[in-house]
Chains A and B, each alone.
Chain A
């Protein structure tokens, strides 16, 4: 006895499958009947990709972004699976919407199928909740801000404050928001869809699917004619989904969520009509955003009770057809207008470009260094010279960068031979000490008059103070000789010796010298009485100063492109 027969005896699978395959389709096989099968196949893809994503996803504020970046960049085909899941969710809403529309045109809501229809409207609504609960999960800028806005709109509905507290798990968005969104998205909604689908199937068993209004009064078995059409439609839909996912290079992932960094959040495309309507509604924005879905939902659910004639021909139901057409056109127009507005907004394009650059930087840092356990935004702190650059922006940049600076310009090449040469020949030049008060007095350093080989020697001597390894000892020796005749009236070069009016050159440009200059530039070995720079001993730690000194040493040989590559702190 074959295994098949053995199983047949115990399970009856052959007769069950056979009966299922021979389910009679009213009106006979048709490509118009494929929507259910296509939707089912997309739901299966959503389940498969969703389970795979869940294997590498961690729903917590500190880990969510990092785990999604990990999926994108470090799990084999992670970008593809996540892309399929995201675009699959759109496909799901589109196909379910078309299915519903077909049912409306065919009069599928008419007696005795009112409840089937309402169930389908509810299922479409639940399907829309998948993207709405899913897009916050990566905890990137896009998801974070879009969720924030949606919760804000929900809060303005009657009783909305409670819904918001339930959805976000308390008074503000945080860890509990993610765990709840995740539980709703991955457990509650799938269970709900499954239950609703089972109920619908039971009703369909009772009533049969609605055939086209003018279909002949015949019924043909599902297999093979309808099955073949279904297979073609499914293959086309899945091929389109795969092609789109590959074309897009997977799903986007913005920079980690940061409540202090603004972001142009956009809702799902199917929420765009509300987003656009809001713009026109002015002070009534909340009413529009909340009212429109109620009107649309109310119309759809009320439809079977308004259009009660048994006639299913669209030609004899012009009002319903007109309402459907008008609704469809308005929704599509609003989606189109919203995308057009965005496409025409040049400022938006700049902000988007900036955000995308930041996202790319966060991704590459996460790939190279991993994400610190404090959370997604901490990935930026793994960038080279991060600590120094943050302090620099806060404490140093205003005096050493830009047009309003008061001190010497500090940028790439600072402390290099070329910089020293420029400084020696024009100490009060604009890029050097020209902006200081001292520069405007007769106490300012005089330009060095040496040229040619002598100037080279002086430059090398000053450069050598930093302890650099690549010095020309011969030149330094000549430079030291020149120092005694040219510089020593104002400068010392012996360790620890007080120097006036100019600073002691010993160790100048070395890490230790820079760190101690930052701590106390008015020290007698530094600028002494002529100092104009604030002391940072109290406001910075030793590690901060060492970091800045290292950063400056890096800048000495860096190019503008190197700095650009570090990104903004």
Chain B
């Protein structure tokens, strides 16, 4: 096929391919516009089909992480320290909660620090375990000897975790704990940041 056909006249090869009734085969000049429109539509349709065939799997792949727990550890309480180390009335202690195993994407890593908790027993003996994650925007909260202080935006919290000053809309988040055979075990929980309500993240 030389392909030298002027617009409106399909080459022989094509005619045998698509048949006499097809607009492709129509070589009368008056039908040039409709033939052109057909080719345009067919080209766009084919292009769209190819694009969709590639784009749909690609998008499905790309959005995989949405709603996926790619980084996760068991929710079980984590052994923190012997209860006797938490003296009633003493300043709060910071402990790091270390997961025995954390799945992180493809990896399974042992002994991964998940986060920190502030532990305190009041003079009455009541135990509190507070997440050291500031409920405002997630910075690590410290203790200045009297109160908990977030270094990022200066929220301060009382010993029981209640907000005293600053932008945080709620107090420090308590962590569930249990005492087994004299040892304090704390579950690591992440809460949604920012809002006044405490919801699991």
Within 8 A of B (CB), among A15-72: 27-33, 41, 45, 48-49, 52, 55-56, 58, 63, 66-67, 69-70
A242–B106 CB distance below 8 A:
no
B3–A52 CB distance below 8 A:
no
Give bound CA distance, A81 to B53, whole Å: 12
CB-based nearest B residue for A44: B54
Which residues on the A side are within 8 Å of B39 (C-beta)? Answer: 224-225, 227-228
Which residues on the A side are within 8 Å of B50 (C-beta)? Answer: 41, 231, 234-235, 238
B60–A224 CB distance below 8 A:
no
Is B182 located at the chain interface by the 8 A CB criterion?
no
Is B22 located at the chain interface by the 8 A CB criterion?
no
Q: Which among B2, B53, B58 is the interface contact of A242 at CB below 8 angstroms? A: B53
B107–A371 CB distance below 8 A:
yes
CB-based nearest B residue for A217: B4
Is B165 located at the chain interface by the 8 A CB criterion?
no
Q: Which among B6, B64, B103, B104 is the interface contact of A75 at CB below 8 angstroms? A: B64
Q: Which among A78, A214, A227, A369 is the interface contact of B61 at CB below 8 angstroms? A: A78
Once A77-B61, A220-B3 are accepted as A-B contacts, the answer to whether A234 and B40 lie under 8 Å apart by CB is no
Is B43 located at the chain interface by the 8 A CB criterion?
yes
B58–A48 CB distance below 8 A:
yes
Tell me the dominant secondary structure on chain A's binding face: helix
B57–A70 CB distance below 8 A:
no
A224–B43 CB distance below 8 A:
yes
Within 8 A of A (CB), among B105-119: 105-110
B2–A49 CB distance below 8 A:
no
CB-based nearest A residue for B40: A224
Determine how close the nearest CB of chain A comes to the CB of B24; give it in whole angstroms.
9
B107–A372 CB distance below 8 A:
yes
Is A314 located at the chain interface by the 8 A CB criterion?
no
Give bound CA distance, A218 to B11, whole Å: 14
Is A210 located at the chain interface by the 8 A CB criterion?
no
Q: How many residues of chain B are within 8 Å of chain A by beta carbon? A: 36
CB-based nearest B residue for A49: B58
Which residues on the B side are within 8 Å of A382 (C-beta)? Answer: 108
Give bound CA distance, A336 to B146, whole Å: 80
Which residues on the B side are within 8 Å of A41 (C-beta)? Answer: 50
Is B1 located at the chain interface by the 8 A CB criterion?
yes
Determine how close the nearest CB of chain B comes to the CB of A323; give it in whole angstroms.
27
Give bound CA distance, A373 to B102, whole Å: 11
B106–A27 CB distance below 8 A:
no
Which residues on the A side are within 8 Å of B151 (C-beta)? Answer: none
Which residues on the A side are within 8 Å of B105 (C-beta)? Answer: 56, 67, 70
Give bound CA distance, A28 to B9, whole Å: 12
Q: Which among A63, A76, A369, A370 is the interface contact of B60 at CB below 8 angstroms? A: A76
B58–A70 CB distance below 8 A:
no
CB-based nearest A residue for B13: A31
A63–B108 CB distance below 8 A:
no
Task: Identify the interface centre among A28, A63, A84, A382: most chain B CB within 10 Å of its CB.
Answer: A28
Q: Can you list 14 A-B contacts (CB < 8 A)?
A: A32-B1, A75-B61, A75-B64, A76-B61, A80-B61, A81-B58, A81-B61, A215-B4, A216-B2, A216-B4, A225-B5, A231-B43, A235-B49, A372-B110
Closest 6 CB pairs of A and B: A370-B108, A28-B3, A70-B106, A224-B39, A216-B4, A231-B46
Listed in ascending order, the chain A residues whose CB lies under 8 Å from chain B are: 27-33, 41, 45, 48-49, 52, 55-56, 58, 63, 66-67, 69-70, 74-78, 80-81, 84, 212, 214-216, 218, 220, 223-225, 227-228, 230-232, 234-235, 238-239, 242, 366, 369-373, 382
Assuming A29-B3, A52-B61, what are 11 further A-B pairs, CB within 8 angstroms?
A28-B3, A29-B11, A41-B50, A49-B58, A220-B4, A220-B7, A228-B39, A231-B42, A235-B50, A238-B50, A238-B53
